[in-house]
Structure 1
Amino acid sequence: MADGAGGSPARPGAAAPGMSVYTEALGQAICRRVLAGESLRAICAEPGAPHRTTLRGWMARHPEFAQGLVASQQAARLAWRRRDRACFAHLAARPKPPRGGKPSTYTPAMGEAICARLMEGESLTAIARDPAMPAYATILGWVRRHPEFEDMYAQARQVQADYFCDEARDVALAATPETVWVARLCFSVIRWQAARLAPRKYVERLAVMEANEARRRAEAEAAAQRPDRLICVTRFERSPDGKTILAVPPRNAEEEARWEAAHGKPYDGPLYQVVDRWAAR
């Protein structure tokens, strides 16, 4: 009887007729596939391939097949290890990325483009809405992290204040009786922006002086309305005989008489200055 042959009915998934019989060519083909890196599980799972139990039987009955299959498995494992080592060496040789997250996408050309649009009166929110430009928070982050862009940004804002001043004049000259109220609103907003960007240049000094003077007058009036208050701290103690409670300084004529009766020295002055006896303590 041939190897693996029998009279039992074929089970589902069994090898095709002729594949359950060992041949030297079939054994060499399996060893070549294992040497190439395929696993026995994958080879045996193919339709018509011999079952793994059949391969174990072949290895038990054919020593040359067993030796070739074991040698192929060892060579395949060594090849996998060599490939892993080469991959690890390649990864170790690559330059490490800079720490702190992704590298900045800032470029001097992008910074100059943003500042140029600012100097032409465009708002930063409008620039950030452009798909070709970075987001609003990204631009402000560049201002904090890149000193050269921070200087350009500050200069662009100063020039933008001059642009707003000229724009306010254009808005005022273009106003008509029908659009005067809208033009007045636009003029006020533009003037406010220019004053905030360059306060030393565009804030109306007369208005500032009037506001400061009004504040000083209000403070003076409030101070004049407040009455002068005198805080007097009173101290209580017993007389030398231990029977009378004395107040220092006395709050009325009766307490003053008690003090004179106890010590024989009256107070002088309206604020009842403490006598030498109390000053020495």
Structure 2
Amino acid sequence: MARTKKAKADDKKPAAKRVGRPHGYTEEKALEICELVADGQSVNKISKMPGMPTRSTILKWFRDVPEFSDMYMRAKEIGFEVLADEILDIADDAKNVDKDQLRRHQLMIETRKWLLAKLQPRKYGERVTQEIVGNKEEAPVQVEVNQTTVLEIIDNLNKEYNTHGDCDDKD
């Protein structure tokens, strides 16, 4: 069956473009955002700054643009180090003489410590250790094996196996 001119023209149309506003990703803006993240700024604060994309746009870039995702993750790791440095700076602050300010600084330190422990548990989390306590006679498990013991076990298994008649005798 012959195709119409319109059908042939439709075949030559380019693929449909995605509908919606473009996300406006630029490498310069991505670098600027990652520098702020590495400096310890949150995405919420960054998105409220003039000239910065919204929080949802930044999260879309994180999801859709692999280069940005990699840069952001490296920046976030640096940001954790900055957060740890802030803990030391707050603790070493010589102005902590007022009771209210002292409590505020303690809260700031505890909040940062908690956040680091939750987001980077291997590096900043509580160390959990297990210790077996007791003397040698009361040890939970004590195993001493030598070659003679192993050979005796094998002999006993062979004898038991042979007495049940499960073994094919091939003489």
> Which TM-score applies when normalising by structure 2?
0.61
2:54 maps to 135
Higher relative contact order structure (alpha carbons within 8 Å, sequence separation ≥ 6): 2
The one of 115, 121, 125 aligned to 1:203: 125
* Deviates further, 188-197 or 135-144: 188-197
1:177 maps to 97
Q: How does 1:56-205 map to 2 (within 5 A)?
A: 98-174=17-93, 176-178=96-98, 179-205=101-127
Give the alignment's Cα RMSD to 1 decimal. Answer: 2.4
Provide the secondary structure at the position in 2 that maps to 1:156: helix
1:246 maps to none
For residue 103 of structure 1, report the CA deviation from its aligned partner: 2.7
2:23–2:57 Cα contact (<8 Å) kept? no
Q: Distance in 2 between matches of 1:117 and 1:138?
A: 16
Q: Distance in 2 between matches of 1:132 and 1:116?
A: 15
Provide the secondary structure at the position in 2 that maps to 1:196: helix
1:257 maps to none
Question: Quick one: percent identity of the two aligned structures?
Answer: 36
Q: Distance in 2 between matches of 1:209 and 1:157?
A: 29
Provide the secondary structure at the position in 2 that maps to 1:121: coil
User: What whole-Å deviation, never above 9, does each CA across 1:123-177 have from its counterpart, x for those lacking one?
Assistant: 1111000120000111011100011111111111111110000000000111523
Q: Distance in 2 between matches of 1:197 and 1:107?
A: 28
Question: Could you say if the C-alpha distance between residues 131 and 95 of structure 1 is closer, same or farther in structure 2, counting changes exceeding 3 Å?
Answer: farther
For residue 209 of structure 1, report the CA deviation from its aligned partner: 4.2
Q: Distance in 2 between matches of 1:193 and 1:121?
A: 12
Question: Could you say if the C-alpha distance between residues 197 and 155 of structure 1 is closer, same or farther in structure 2, counting changes exceeding 3 Å?
Answer: farther
> Which TM-score applies when normalising by structure 1?
0.38
Q: Distance in 2 between matches of 1:109 and 1:169?
A: 32
Gaps of at least 5 residues in structure 2 are 1-12, 132-171
Q: Distance in 2 between matches of 1:142 and 1:119?
A: 17
* Count of matched residue pairs: 117
Q: Distance in 2 between matches of 1:176 and 1:99?
A: 56
Q: Distance in 2 between matches of 1:97 and 1:131?
A: 34
1:161–1:195 Cα contact (<8 Å) kept? no
User: What whole-Å deviation, never above 9, does each CA across 1:191-245 have from its counterpart, x for those lacking one?
Assistant: 122223322111121xx448xx9xxxxxxxxxxxxxxxxxxxxxxxxxxxxxxxx
User: What whole-Å deviation, never above 9, does each CA across 1:57-81 have from its counterpart, x for those lacking one?
Assistant: xxxxxxxxxxxxxxxxxxxxxxxxx
Bigger radius of gyration among the two: 1
